[in-house]
Structure 1
């Protein structure tokens, strides 16, 4: 846990410690980069299960799992009443399995940041719309879908701001206009009830945060974190317009190999076939268009933004997963032309599976050689040996090779690509269980344990008005594990300038005589602090904790 995740989790910890459930705090200052939903979830988890990385990541894991369960339930609900039970359950399992084994959903589902809270809320909102849209307007399921759409849009707004409602509204509006079904949603009472529910969920916190913090909140959140993030590059995260295209491939791998074929089988350029004349449509007839819009609109929206990060397009992962799974196992009720398109797309599936066989074989070789690559990290020189000693790279290589072999065998023995999903899901679930889960303790022991221990020692050895400076890499986890504030110093020149021009930014008090320095040994030594004014307090691996006498110290206290 470090960097962005540690920053996010520390805000949740401060919310619990201060018992302030309205104003986010980080490092002793207000923190208005994101709204409050994720912090609430992390703080609640800490209250129930105690302070730990496991408790910090539990809420995002629950959020990611909720979408997987919702996908399974919706696809199962849409199964044909006359279909065999195995057909209905198999289709639902394929949809849930593709999403559950997508790297983007796995990775962000194990990382406590705002991206999964936003993505899961948007996904649940759009799935709720699909449920309501394909039910009789006065049915209980339609009412449940409308309620879910309003509530989860509100949760998305509480998770990251206006984008949480803008994206679902854009997707839904485009879909209703293209299909000509917008009149079915123009019911004044239902729209008013949905708007009231949406505002009732999200507006109380925004109103209270504005009342307590005024212009600082409005500018810090709406101005900086929303408008400026979209129109200007902040935090040094630029990117070209095509920045996200490789990330679509990575976040959905290996399923992204099947995505072009899944999209082409929709024949989306024939817009007339989507028009229903305002009449109700079956899930099989228009869901593909909805999923395509769900994939394309957020991708275009974030591609237009100046600031770009891979996690921004996480909301498209469920759409991509559903497009692929429904290409493998389509919904019942298709027309004869759709059957022809499905047979045509089988060639795409087989071609993509052939590419995947080669890719997985190459990945198996790369996994076996992984310890050699990580050996070049000077900050963690023992990590490569620990990784090799765990045997996990070889286990990963074997699982990837077996998955590749079974895929190749399936392609040789059958012309139907329908069951490719089962081989992939089985292989990647095995990787999750046998590699990803055991890898976490190895990473913790080699990369995070020294930081955690030294942060606690720094807290225990602190003197009155003695600041803590984190030098070099911005290890935000020091705040979480140490339970104190810190100043972050990039290097020698930055430190000298701040000592002379802005000592308060270094958290120096009127009587400060010494400071504690935390960082990699190479970063600390690069400060070139006089040896007579330095004492090494602790060292674990390449991480060290120093105490230094300040240049303007008025006393010569022992270090």
Structure 2
């Protein structure tokens, strides 16, 4: 039987089906907080204000990250309009780019079959395929770092001529520059550290002569410098916050409350590499024992050091999120593909069994998911996830069993079966989670809120910040009491928020007395507190996480969902009212009309 990787028809049909599902899933779910709503809203505001230099969130300066993803999202909105798939398009393309790049690199550096396997491994890995459909910066960073990795691997291989070496090293430098514009200095610090460690462990000192340092650095600074200069000129407070606070202080402290123990990423890696867990450790072992008689460039050793160092780097950081280790998945995919090319059926069987076990558990226990609901409101949302978890579990079992049956005589088909079931199962799990995602985002409240709003209506958010609702409502909110992650920006422009609930209550009551409608989204605790004070409020929507109220009187014949309470609050200093008015004006200025 002809080998699958040599059948162009099979490979292209498989890739086309993969792309159809991949792209469809970009718009299949609600944008959930916090990352998805945040980065979609930043891009929407960029389009609304036409300011492509100073990044803002909720109309407030937001300097935590560089602009590449916001630029790409804003460009997508300009071309295709606002929507879920548009907000995820850059992330999705970066994930897809990673799959294509490892396929091309595996074929170029190792063998045609290795490239085929590498694409299957990366495209089906649970974490990579999942986060490729979430609007987060880490997939954009991973995509650009993959560009730098593959540029280095292809340029340094022994078969590369001078022109090819130069061009692919420039691709490597461009990838690092785009990685810096994606998420900061780690875009060059991590690849640079990997290169130093590779030199020490492989004793391949001559690689430094082949990096095209001068041309590469020129290209790097041409790409990165303009934005950093422009934003620093417009915002003198930017350099200290971005380079010191967001890099050094964030890495060495728990300032962002994202601390995790040193082993934090181990279970994430083990879960995220499914369905290839059974060959993970052997693939790493083989990378550590690469033999190169000519003592030339050792690509497997480079891949191993890339994987282990980046994993170690984020493990010792005091700031951790599951998506941080995404950049190691392309290198892992290439290492696993190299192992699969020579592995026996026992290695494939190990991965199949480690997919079959959680699949079987899911089939048996899926019906117990509703028991995890924390309240009556979330019970039907959890229940709605049951058939999707069951379906994903069944697909995992089918793929695992098929791989077990095929592994002895039809190895490539067995690997395809594992990849297909892993990819489809993961996408089905994500799709089935959407009811809970809608609840997290509060999107079902949008029609009720929009019915009360005009472009001039102040919209407050009290005691919290809603990450997704601003995007769906197409407007910013006036923050009250709670700074959330916008503390730095609000300290720069304190007139854009209201620091206390008491000051908010004064403004709210004054607008009510003047016949001016206000709308506010608040935590249930804040609503109870203000209700006890007798503040005029009419509930227009609510769920266990939030209550939406207006100060407008109930319209004649309108059925109220909650009893309206009114009282005249004690007077407060006039400064609170003037600050709220300024914040209201700022909110209206960034709304999409």
Q: TM-score range by the shorter chain?
A: 0.7 to 0.9
Matched, 1:394 2:390: yes
**Number of residue equivalences:** 507
> CA 1:92–1:184 in structure 2 vs 1: closer, same or farther (change >3 Å)?
closer
- Paired position in structure 2 for 1:228: 249
- Paired position in structure 2 for 1:302: 314
> CA 1:476–1:184 in structure 2 vs 1: closer, same or farther (change >3 Å)?
closer
Is the contact between residue 57 and residue 112 of structure 1 (CA under 8 Å) also seen in structure 2?
A: yes
- Paired position in structure 1 for 2:220: 198
2:550 match: secondary structure: strand
**Which of 227, 248, 273 pairs up with 1:252?**
273
- Paired position in structure 2 for 1:358: 357
> CA 1:364–1:20 in structure 2 vs 1: closer, same or farther (change >3 Å)?
same
- Paired position in structure 1 for 2:519: 516
Post-superposition shift, 1:135?
4.9
Is the contact between residue 156 and residue 165 of structure 2 (CA under 8 Å) also seen in structure 1?
A: yes
1:186 match: secondary structure: helix
2:259 match: secondary structure: coil
Is the contact between residue 126 and residue 426 of structure 2 (CA under 8 Å) also seen in structure 1?
A: no
Post-superposition shift, 1:171?
1.4
- Paired position in structure 2 for 1:469: 461
Matched, 1:424 2:424: no
Matched, 1:315 2:317: no
> CA 1:379–1:147 in structure 2 vs 1: closer, same or farther (change >3 Å)?
farther
Matched, 1:131 2:154: yes
Separation of aligned partners in 2, 1:518 and 1:318: 42
Q: Taking structure 1 as the reference length, what is the TM-score of the superposition?
A: 0.81
2:531 match: secondary structure: coil
Separation of aligned partners in 2, 1:400 and 1:75: 27
Is the contact between residue 459 and residue 478 of structure 2 (CA under 8 Å) also seen in structure 1?
A: yes
Matched, 1:149 2:152: no
Deviation sequence 1:477-521 (CA, Å, 0-9, x none): 122222122315569xxx998235xx48x996996558533256x
Q: What are the ranges of 5 or more consecutive residues in structure 1 without an aligned counterpart?
A: 81-87, 331-341, 555-559
- Paired position in structure 2 for 1:69: 100
**Which of 260, 267, 284 pairs up with 1:239?**
260
Post-superposition shift, 1:224?
1.5
Separation of aligned partners in 2, 1:140 and 1:386: 57
Q: Which moved more, 1:450-459 or 1:317-326?
A: 450-459
Deviation sequence 1:261-302 (CA, Å, 0-9, x none): 21223454x8xx56854xx44xxxx22211111111111111
- Paired position in structure 2 for 1:530: 532
- Please show how residues 150-549 of structure 1 align to structure 2 within 5 Å: 150-186=173-209, 190-214=212-236, 216-268=237-289, 273=291, 276-277=294-295, 280-281=296-297, 286-330=298-342, 347-370=346-369, 372-373=370-371, 375-378=373-376, 380-388=378-386, 391-410=387-406, 414=408, 420-431=414-425, 435-436=428-429, 438-439=431-432, 442=435, 448=441, 449-457=443-451, 459-460=453-454, 463=457, 466-471=458-463, 474-482=465-473, 483-487=475-479, 498-499=500-501, 503=503, 516-519=519-522, 522-523=524-525, 525-527=527-529, 529-530=531-532, 532-539=534-541, 544-548=547-551
Q: RMSD in angstroms over aligned alpha carbons?
A: 3.3
Is the contact between residue 471 and residue 517 of structure 1 (CA under 8 Å) also seen in structure 2?
A: no
> CA 1:33–1:508 in structure 2 vs 1: closer, same or farther (change >3 Å)?
farther
Separation of aligned partners in 2, 1:137 and 1:164: 25
Is the contact between residue 387 and residue 393 of structure 1 (CA under 8 Å) also seen in structure 2?
A: yes
Q: Taking structure 2 as the reference length, what is the TM-score of the superposition?
A: 0.77
- Paired position in structure 1 for 2:55: 24
> CA 1:363–1:225 in structure 2 vs 1: closer, same or farther (change >3 Å)?
same
Is the contact between residue 519 and residue 545 of structure 1 (CA under 8 Å) also seen in structure 2?
A: yes
Is the contact between residue 154 and residue 168 of structure 2 (CA under 8 Å) also seen in structure 1?
A: yes
Matched, 1:51 2:63: no
> CA 1:111–1:451 in structure 2 vs 1: closer, same or farther (change >3 Å)?
farther
> CA 1:27–1:445 in structure 2 vs 1: closer, same or farther (change >3 Å)?
closer
Q: What are the ranges of 5 or more consecutive residues in structure 2 without an aligned counterpart?
A: 1-30, 484-496, 552-565, 573-593
> CA 1:136–1:194 in structure 2 vs 1: closer, same or farther (change >3 Å)?
farther
Post-superposition shift, 1:462?
6.0
> CA 1:490–1:408 in structure 2 vs 1: closer, same or farther (change >3 Å)?
farther
**Which of 139, 151, 157 pairs up with 1:116?**
139
- Paired position in structure 2 for 1:551: 569
Post-superposition shift, 1:534?
3.7
